[in-house]
Amino acid sequence: MAVAALSWWPLFPSSARPRSAVKKGNSDKEHPFLSVVRRDREFLAESLRSYGEPLRPIVERVNTALSDLFWLRFLEYPYAQKQRPVSSWPSVSYPPGLSFLGILIADLEALKNYLDYIRHLFLVLTMPLPEFYDPEIVESYFSCRPHILAFRIVEVLSSFSFAAIRFQLIKVFKSNRLDVNEINSWGGSEYLVGQFLKEAMLSLGPTFVKVGQSLSTRPDMIGSEISRALSELHDKIPPFSRAVAMKIIEQELGGPVENFYSYLSEEPVAAASFGQVYQGRTLDGCSVAIKVQRPNMLHSVVRDIYILRLGLDILRKVAKRKSDLRLYADELGKGLVGELDYKIEAANASEFLDAHSQYSFMSVPRVLGHLTRKRVLTMEWMVGESPNTLLLQARGFAHEGQFTRIHKLESKRKLLDLVSKGAEATLVQLLETGLLHADPHPENLRYTPEGCIGFLDFGLLCRMKKEHQIAMLASIIHIVNGDWGALVYDLTSMDVVRPGTNLRSVTKDFVDALGEVNYIDGIPDIKFSLVLGKILSIALKYQFRMPPYYTLVLRSLASLEGLAVAADQKFQTFRAAYPYVVKKLLYDNSKAARRILYSVVFNNRRKSNGRRYCYFWK
């Protein structure tokens, strides 16, 4: 029976295996056969690790040499100039009736074309991959390295195919051998799909992890269960070895680690898609977080973005879309490659700190510039609890075990306070500073002991123009009031709606999708997550040009709303945000603000709306 059980064990993701496979009923005892197998596996792994330690430097050098050979890096010249992509082998034709001299001249011309082609090919081969994202240079770089693209495409297809095969095998096994109650305990087939997608993306590397993290914030597109599974990509990414991390620190800072830090944790406190974080202490005793980039990131990220670009170009031709879908890959490439330069992130963090230092409820760590380089970032250590930890504690579970009722209520209070301040912080970024944190998922937020909301990870910032700030304020107000015609006008003023679009048809789609807004105690009962999904669906239908700040703001509010609702079903995001919105409207004496205030108080027929007065006096 044990052998039969092991035959299907690898089919299940680690977090989706049925509990009955490990324990029966309430018993926590492991099956004797499985216990022996586990101990033998651990013994063999430890033995191989101890025997292989002396060979580690040799293995690393061999891996580096093979990688350079595969990527043809040994041909690259650091100062090579930008070259156009390599075209096909030149073809030569001879017009009829040529004399001997004419044929000789044509042969010499063909030889010149062949030599020019070989010369250009050599120049492209010597051109290194740039430190910034340039679509033309990237295309030139990979035009003479098709084997890299072919190998990666096969790897991607095989990874997702293997995940699909595992899922189909589980469905067959489920229908034949397991009862319905066990299947329901796994969280449903959609959650299993999400688990297999998560494992496939983890195996394919950082770029796919980033894509999975972005998809996890879009349950409207992929479903709530798949979104829940992919959300584990934010905090369950395996780290790389400490020896490699220490080597990168020494290379970047130019000396032994002991010359810069008096203490560095043995294990990383967090691992992300592009790097991992160690807790440390500087020589002067300052507690810091040291972020170290994963090795060989630039080539792997740019390769995956280029493959995505090729795929979107094929999709554009097949779907006969007018818009150039490759631009989405280019925007993603610029953002991801920019995140690989930690000096840019350090500058972003300092700019974000300077812009928001006057807001006492917002906390941003200070960058230590003398300990920051391209692949190493050192910042002050931020003491605080993550929203996900608070949510677990509010539900009565944590790594330490069960929580008392008082602890649960306190964690719930902290979480809701964090959400309220997060909503206000989002509006501050939107309406006051125009500088938005571009990755507002829960793992980048902290609730500090002082009751502030702390921000982490400044790889990407979004900057807004003043006229877009006012239009965005109007957009949020009209969403809250359910004034969909005015919302379409706002989108048009932000150049989101393409010229020639039927605005009445767009307004009708909004009315059909979202309907009228209900009021509870004078407060609009609006769900930003629902609105975000509907807006993006309509945007896709009418091919809107959605600016990044628009989806960022709504995604941030929707993410905070999801945390709050998980702890308290009655929580209203707008109740947390409306004091700031009302204050902004009442104290801003600009013409645009007065027009927005007028649209809040009066309806389309210029009659005052009593329900809307309520939240001005609460």
**Among the ranges given (254-258, 308-312, 400-404), the one the predictor scored with the smallest mean pLDDT:** 400-404
Token digits for 279? 């807790």
Give the percent of the chain with pLDDT over 90: 20
What pLDDT does residue 73 have?
Answer: 81
CA distances from 482 to 37, 91, 509, 516 (A): 61, 63, 13, 6
Mean pLDDT, residues 314-336 taken together: 79
What pLDDT does residue 229 have?
Answer: 81
Q: Which residue, among 458, 452, 465, has the nearest Cα to 425 in the 3D structure?
A: 452
What pLDDT does residue 147 have?
Answer: 92
How far apart are alpha carbons 597 and 591 in whole angstroms? 10
What pLDDT does residue 253 have?
Answer: 95
Residue 403 has pLDDT above 70, yes or no: no
What pLDDT does residue 29 have?
Answer: 47
The angle formed by the CA atoms of residues 113, 116 and 118, to the nearest 5 degrees, is: 110
**Among the ranges given (42-51, 188-197, 364-373, 600-609), the one the predictor scored with the smallest mean pLDDT:** 600-609
What pLDDT does residue 271 have?
Answer: 87
Residue 11 has pLDDT above 50, yes or no: no
Residue 178 has pLDDT above 60, yes or no: no
What pLDDT does residue 95 have?
Answer: 77
Token digits for 412? 């719930």
What pLDDT does residue 180 have?
Answer: 46
Q: What is the mean pLDDT of the chain?
A: 78
Q: Quick one: pLDDT band at residue 576, thresholds 50, 70, 90?
A: low
Q: Quick one: pLDDT band at residue 10, thresholds 50, 70, 90?
A: very low
Sign of the C-alpha dihedral computed for residues 489, 494, 498 and 500 taken in this order: positive
What pLDDT does residue 327 have?
Answer: 81
Residue 346 has pLDDT above 70, yes or no: yes
Residue 353 has pLDDT above 80, yes or no: yes
**Among the ranges given (78-87, 248-257, 375-384), the one the predictor scored with the smallest mean pLDDT:** 78-87
Contact 15, 197 (CB under 8 A): no
Burial code of 456-479, b = ≥16 C-beta within 10 A, e = fewer?
bbbbbbbebeeebbbbbbbbbbbb
How far apart are alpha carbons 515 and 506 in whole angstroms? 13
**Got the DSSP string for 263-309?**
EE-SS-SEE-SSEEEEEEEETT--EEEEEEEPTTHHHHHHHHHHHHH
Total number of residues shown for the chain: 618
Residue 190 has pLDDT above 70, yes or no: yes
Residue 90 has pLDDT above 90, yes or no: no
What pLDDT does residue 223 have?
Answer: 64
Mean pLDDT, residues 444-466 taken together: 89
Residue 442 has pLDDT above 70, yes or no: yes
101-105, 305-309, 566-570 — most confident range: 305-309
In tens, the pLDDT along 298-308 reads 999 999 999 98
> In this structure, what are the phi and psi dihedrals at residue 94, rounded to the nearest 5 degrees?
-110, 120
What pLDDT does residue 78 have?
Answer: 75
Tell me which residue has tokens 């945000």: 577
What pLDDT does residue 3 have?
Answer: 35
How far apart are alpha carbons 240 and 245 in whole angstroms? 8
In tens, the pLDDT along 134-145 reads 888 888 888 888
Tell me which residue has tokens 């393409």: 498
H-type helices in 260-404, by residue range?
Answer: 297-319, 326-339, 342-356, 387-394
Furthest CA-CA distance within the chain: 101
Token digits for 143? 């035009």
